[in-house]
A and B are shown apart, each in its own frame.
Chain A
Amino acid sequence: MKLKKLIVASSIIASSLVTQLSIAADTIKVGVLHSLSGTMAISETTLKDTVLMMIEEQNKKGGVLGKQLEAVVVDPASNWPLFAEKTRELLAKDKVDVIFGCWTSVSRKSALPVLEELNGLLFYPVQYEGEESSKNVFYTGAAPNQQAIPAVDYLMDDIGATRWVLAGTDYVYPRTTNKILEAYLLAKGVKAEDIMINYTPFGHSDWQGIVSDIKKFGSQGKKTAVVSTINGDANIPFYKELGNQGISAEDIPVVAFSVGEEELSGFDTKPLVGHLAAWNYFQSVESDSNDAFIAQWKKYIGDEKRVTNDPMEATYIGFEMWVKAVEKAGSTDVDAVEQAMIGVAVPNLTGGTAVMNANHHLSKPVLIGEIQEDGQFEVVWETPDTVIGDAWSDYLPSSKNLISDWTAPVSCGNFDVKTAKCSGQNF
């Protein structure tokens, strides 16, 4: 009797194991590593939905390599160390073939060692400070030379700014970006006394003193512009204070790198009108692929009022590229896909083509938009061509000799062109 039970039990276990294995063989698993709770949930939930929408779409087309895609969604809860744990869970336990995820640089840095240890593959869709190129990560957001530097060029050449305020929230992205911008401005002949740098804590809401300083700094007869890496929530009180103290976008224009359609959708945009933002995509750009994408998104999410934004486009491009690379490589093996990715080209949503370069960064167009009353942007300037993302900034002394090239014979993320050596460190 006991034996019989044992046999039944073991056969049940065995059969369930087999079915699990067979499921695993039938689908390709796609990990989604975006915070669904905590402070970053506001931004990251959208990207999770974007990935799920893309997977659904791809499955309708018959999947990849004849297999259906299966999403594995985890929630790292805006908790940076948890990103490492969840990455390990996705790679070791769920055995996903690719991960789409992360928003803040801290979360990426946290997941990075695990990705490299277990040889995973991450698509990172947000603009970031650069100074990194990992074999296991594809950066589909903008590097500083695809957002910050062109924005400064625009202010300098088209608006005629000669005096600069670099204002940011106190963490790694603004600090590194401002370091690059400061070096760039000094190289362009701007005097040190014409640059004012200011950092504020996360969620800062009392801007009176700082705005008054900016006003004084800006009323010295030279055209002044503010380059803002102020993050998320703190932006609205900042713009409101600018408006209240009578500083218009014509007097002192503010160009922001973290304010997009999604961030503006909850705001009273009156005080922001005329200020600028630099991105690689705006919802208002007119192209057939963009119209189709917006329609698809609104239908998927079931809300006519939802907007699209730049990190969504980056997710879209990353996903399309991964599908192409897997088909090119004929397998989902990380090393094969990684090599197949380089040189892959897919149409972007602004009517051009995105190409993955050997340094794991994209070629992107850079757009400058003015904020409109309806929370959308109107493009006032764009680069004539796409710009190749530069992993290592040429304006920082520590990284100006470094390049990243993941094709043979270099195959290195931080190759020093002077000494012809790869430092060997992976990030």
Chain B
Amino acid sequence: MHRIYLLLLLIFISGQSAALQPDSDTQSNSQLSGLLNQLPKTKLRKMAPLIEKISQTKQPQTRAILQFMLDGELYYLRANKQVVHAQSTENNLYELTDVLTQESLTPVKKSRLSKVKTNNRLRSTLRNILAKIDLTDDDKQIRLQAVQQLLSSPSKQSAAIITELIDDETDQDVRALMATTLALQQLKSGSSDEKLIALEQLSGSLEPTVKNEIVSLLENLPNKDLTAEQQILKSQLTNALDEIDNRASFYSAIETVFFGLSLGSVLLLAAIGLAITFGVMGVINMAHGEMIMLGAYTTYVIQLAFPSMIEYSLLIAVPAAFLVSGFVGILIERGVIRFLKGRPLETLLATFGISLVLQQLVRTIFSPLNRQVVSPEWMSGSWQINPIFSLTYNRLYIILFSIFVFVSLLMILKKTSLGLHVRAVSQNRDMARALSIKSDWVDAITFGLGSGIAGVAGVVLSQLTNVGPNLGQAYIIDSFLVVVFGGVGNLWGTLVAAMSLGLTNKFLEPLTGSVLANIIVLVGLVLFIQKRPKGLFPQKGRSAD
């Protein structure tokens, strides 16, 4: 009998202790739900402390809730203020999940929901909180990002967390970055000796926060009556700063060269088609800009037609734009320009008219508003080489692409029979005809080739600027400038001219501002053309005029 009592007692006790664990859990769970209930009525300014409290509940749902809030997917139902995670679905409804219980609710319309508001400041607070949670994540990449985030806004609190974690960290990169963060904290608040050690550790680091810390330390040192200790610190700091500045100016020079080359390659792409039609055939084609515009619109149409293939849209658009613009180019040549051969003024006016017609056509078909061309994922973002030097992917690809276009065009002109015919016709039309070259046919194909390349330039420009009816006009003048500067009829001249204009512009820009830079380049060009009317690389030979 006693035994049974004892057993019952034992069962009771163990039951109690088993119940104890979930009990504390429900307690902080209810604490979390209490905090969540405050979300809808809290003003933006008072939100930060509330988020801090939420993050301290350390529930399994906490991280997800904060992430939803950061992503703007945290809503509450207007009727009962229940906080939910909402995602829009196809048919204008929002799919709801309760953030605490994870149970799905019936989808509702947008008007029944209100967003839990955040602003930029709050989002960076959220990022910092999430980073602290992420420091213990299993994925090394996430840990790395988390340390990076904490490094960009150093605080004592995060330094304390990192100190705890650094010994257990297995990954080399993460560990190095953690060490930097800690050294930075030492530099900030350590004793003089600690500062010197930290400085030693940080030497060579280009993180902007490191430089800022050094600058502010230097500013805080008294000007006069330095102790020996401070003296050493000061000279060390100055040395470190000089080194950082040296490297920074080195990288900034490289960066400017890169910007210049990238502007140059955009100019090259826009102008190289013109170098063929204007340079080789001698046709002043004012509708060249509109060929570029057609290429850009082709990209738009292709993205519209294959909305699921945005990532590949550019690869499809390049040949498509080449064909569309090339075809229109051949139409223009066959329809108008061939009747005006040898009458440059009339060709100029006629092609100007065509350019207006094409613009209006696009306005009528696509509306006068700019159209939206999406950048594929691989074209956005940048290649981070070090903390102060990065190259944007879209510019990098454009430089490579323009080199590719240039080389292939050069090959076509130099190595193919078409190229041979084109060169023959451009050098001496009558002689070429006498040698049974169909000069009419060559004209049409050449014009088509030049226009097609312009179309390809349009695909590239759709990634950089607005796609609208006026797109071409913005580039026609630059294109003529490049071709005239480089020397009519010379592809290498076009390359050199485009790159030197791009570089000049980008080196002038920081000194004079972009408005004045444009003016200086233009005036310089006018003077240059006065001196050398035939450009950098004039065509030699009898038929050059």
A binding-site residues for B, Cβ under 8 Å: 39, 41-42, 158-160, 170, 198-201, 203-206, 208-210, 212-213, 216, 219-221, 233, 236-237, 240-241, 243-246, 249-250, 253, 265-268, 270-271, 274, 276, 370, 372, 378, 380-381
Contact = CB atoms under 8 A, between A and B. Distances in A.
A251 to B, nearest CB: 8
B14 to A, nearest CB: 51
A265 B262 CA distance: 29
B275 to A, nearest CB: 21
Given A42-B368, A240-B464, A380-B44, 7 more contacts: A208-B392, A210-B514, A236-B370, A244-B382, A246-B381, A265-B369, A268-B373
Nearest to B392: A244
A265 B370 CA distance: 9
A370 B119 contact: yes
Given A212-B259, A245-B382, A250 B127 contact: yes
B262 to A, nearest CB: 7
Contact of A208 (B44, B123, B388, B395): B395
Interface string B249-264: 0001001100100110
A contact face: mostly helix, strand, loop, or mixed: mixed
B374 interface: yes
Contacts of B393: 244
Sorted from nearest, which 9 A-B pairs have the closest CB atoms?
A221-B212, A219-B208, A205-B465, A266-B370, A244-B392, A250-B124, A208-B259, A266-B369, A380-B119
B466 A233 contact: yes
Q: How many B residues touch the partner, as a band?
A: 35 or more
A245 B372 CA distance: 21
A46 B181 CA distance: 54
Given A198-B513, A205-B474, A267 B372 contact: yes
A233 B370 contact: yes
Contacts of A378: 115, 117
A245 B392 contact: yes
B87 interface: no
B311 to A, nearest CB: 14
Interface of B: 44-45, 72, 115, 117, 119-121, 123-124, 127, 208-209, 212-213, 215-216, 252, 255-256, 259, 262-263, 266, 368-375, 380-382, 384, 388, 390, 392-395, 464-466, 468, 470, 474, 506, 509-510, 513-515, 518
B514 A253 contact: no
Contacts of B381: 244, 246
A213 B510 contact: yes
Given A244-B394, A245-B392, A266-B372, A253 B464 contact: no
B274 to A, nearest CB: 19
B470 A39 contact: yes
B392 A200 contact: no
A201 B119 contact: no
B149 to A, nearest CB: 10
Given A237-B465, A244-B382, A199 B119 contact: no
A212 B121 contact: no
Given A220-B212, A267-B370, A268-B375, A158 B392 contact: no
B515 A200 contact: yes
B380 A243 contact: yes
A233 B382 contact: no
A209 B510 contact: yes
Contacts of A276: 120
A246 B382 contact: yes
Contacts of A274: 120, 123
A111 to B, nearest CB: 24
Given A209-B506, A221-B209, A380 B392 contact: no
Counting chain B CB atoms within 10 Å of each CB, which of A41, A208, A236, A250 scores highest?
A208
A246 B390 contact: yes
A249 B368 CA distance: 30
A158 to B, nearest CB: 7
B117 A380 contact: yes
A159 B121 contact: yes
A276 B119 CA distance: 10
Contacts of B388: 216, 219
